[in-house]
Amino acid sequence: MDLLTVNDRPGQYPDSYYAATTEQQVLRQKAEGRIDCDICIVGGGYTGVSTALHLAERGLNVVLLEANRLGWGASGRNGGQVNTGMRLDQESLEGMFGVDTARKLWAVADQAVSTVKQLIADHGIDCGFKPGVVHAAHRARYLGHERRLVEKMRKDYGVETLTFLNRAELHELVPSNFYHGGVLDLAAGHLHPLKYLLGLVTVAETGGARIFENSRVTAIHGGPRPRVITDSAEISCQTVIVGCNGYTGGLLEDISRHVMPINGFIAATRPLSPDEVQSVLRRDYAVADSKFVINYYRLSQDKRLLFGGGEAYGYRFPKNIAAMIRKPLSQVYPQLANIEFDYTWGGTLGITMSRMPYFHRHQGSILSASGFSGQGVALGTFAGKILADAINGESRVFDLLAALPAKAFPGGRRFQSPLLFLAMSWYALRDRFA
């Protein structure tokens, strides 16, 4: 199944709220003929564009190839949440990797969020960044763990930006009876993901990176002087960076074995009235809840509710995304059960078995970062800096992440879809009846 074509019109953005509210972009040239450069980057999402930006800043000759449009993948379609930490909490990471490594991983994730904020501030990227993400617990029994974790983060990691919320405190921010309490994270935040990505593109191009669109890479040949092939160009370079995440497909089998693509879906309601806003989100914080098939939502700048959620396994998007999202939306906010959706869309992200990102060096001169497991706004952006540093000989963080044990998904790429269906159905079922 070719995820670059199966659910979308090639070369065109999906009909998302984000594409509709972003200034029309000039179409960059398609790559043609023979091109020489220092670094060739494949993929025009946060990972690829941030790598281009950080390398161009250091004076390297950089070419980036995007199969469709810049931000066409998950980077232009996501929930916009800039989350702190890795996908798993620090208690789990300490158990998996030991305290020392867990602390280093926290430092990486912490720098990832700071890097996003710094890039926005330094380059005046107009993407509506707002601080605050609420983690809402839909089971009362999760609250003990949440409270302990906030205390641990304060004591062991010096984190003062997390606040435990009991039921009443949570309802002050998120007035939904679906939740029993949660945690407010004021270091996290939310933004317009496509505007943010295109802001990074401007910085990369100003720095001298050459960026091509509608230039799908069909093969990468490693070796001392790798070659990257599209249907109309051949790029010769010193190093290749692969940042295709959930859309990698068969381009690099090693990534496909370690990073499973899964689809996520979002609906944008019509703009809410001031009373409706008060009935869903009293402060402009984003929310991510504790369901296995997570609900995540926030207000847009024009006060629509952007609600992500719903279950659909298999690689084709369901025909009726709206009906699928309406189910969890009406559980959380029954008063919005029949609200009009002006936009619905889906996108593909990459997850790993461990939920840790997958950084890898393939045949020496090909590097990749993917599998951000739903944390890619911050981690994908920072991956670009980590990859750029590694190319410049500062590979401490790259080596730390590449050394994390990474299990391949059993059965290879052909069996991923049925396997995913079984696993997700089981977990979703447990969530429903637990």
Ligand X SMILES: Cc1cc2nc3c(=O)[nH]c(=O)nc-3n(C[C@H](O)[C@H](O)[C@H](O)COP(=O)(O)OP(=O)(O)OC[C@H]3O[C@@H](n4cnc5c(N)ncnc54)[C@H](O)[C@@H]3O)c2cc1C
Where on the chain is the footprint of ligand X (CB under 6 A)? 4, 42-48, 65-68, 72-75, 77-81, 83, 216-217, 243-247, 251, 264, 266, 296, 308, 347-349, 370, 372, 374-378, 380
Instruction: Pick between residue 97 and residue 345 the one whose CB is nearest to ligand X.
Output: 345
- Residue number with CB closer to ligand X (232 or 335): 232
To 10 degrees, the CA torsion angle through 80, 165, 91, 375?
0
Distances (CA, A) of 289 to 131, 132, 137, 181, 326: 17, 14, 6, 10, 16
Cα dihedral 427, 429, 433, 434, rounded to 10, equals 0
Distance, CA of 242 to CA of 360 (rounded, Å): 10
Q: Provide, rounded to whole angstroms, the least separation between the CB of residue 199 and ligand X.
A: 14
Which amino acid, residue 400? L
- Nearer to ligand X by C-beta: 43 or 226? 43
CA dihedral 405, 108, 372, 393 (to 10 degrees): -70
Torsion of CA 138, 139, 140, 142, to 10 degrees: -100
CB atoms within 10 A of CB 302: 11
CB of 3 to ligand X, least distance (A): 8
d(CA 105, CA 290): 22
Closest approach of ligand X to the CB of residue 378, in Å: 6
Residue 143 or 332 having the CB closest to ligand X: 332
**Cα distances (angstroms) measured from residue 78 to each of 35, 244, 268, 273, 330:** 33, 15, 12, 24, 21
For 207, which DSSP code? T
Smallest gap from Cβ 166 to ligand X, in A, equals 25
> In the complex with ligand X, which residue's Cβ is closer, 182 or 374?
374
Let me know the angle formed at the C-alpha of 64 by 61 and 60, rounded to the nearest 5 degrees. 15
Residue nearest to ligand X (CB): 376
In the numeric block, which tokens belong to residue 154? Answer: 């304060």
Q: How far is the CB of 168 from ligand X (least distance, A)?
A: 27
* 321 neighbors 267 (Cβ within 8 angstroms): yes
Q: At its nearest, how many Å lie between ligand X and the CB of residue 367?
A: 13
Q: Which residue lies nearer to ligand X by CB, 77 or 180? A: 77
Q: How far is the CB of 35 from ligand X (least distance, A)?
A: 14
Q: Which is nearer to ligand X, 176 or 263 (CB)?
A: 263
Nearest to 159 by CA among 87, 88, 82, 89: 89
Closest to 380 in 3D by CA, of 179, 63, 113: 113
Looking at beta carbons only, is 162 or 228 nearer to ligand X? 228
CB of 286 vs ligand X, minimal distance in Å: 8
CB of 77 to ligand X, least distance (A): 5
Residue (30 or 171) nearer to ligand X, CB: 30
Q: Rounded to the nearest whole angstrom, what is the least distance from the CB of residue 21 to ligand X in the complex? A: 16
Of 46 and 409, the one with the shorter C-beta distance to ligand X is 46
Q: Residue with structure tokens 């090909």? A: 366
Q: Which is nearer to ligand X, 93 or 191 (CB)?
A: 191
Dihedral, CA atoms, 415, 222, 239, 359, nearest 10 degrees?
Answer: 30
CB of 177 to ligand X, least distance (A): 24
Cβ-contact 77, 347 below 8 angstroms? yes
Q: Which of 41, 49, 39, 54 is nearest to 70 (CA)?
A: 49
Please count the residues of the chain: 434
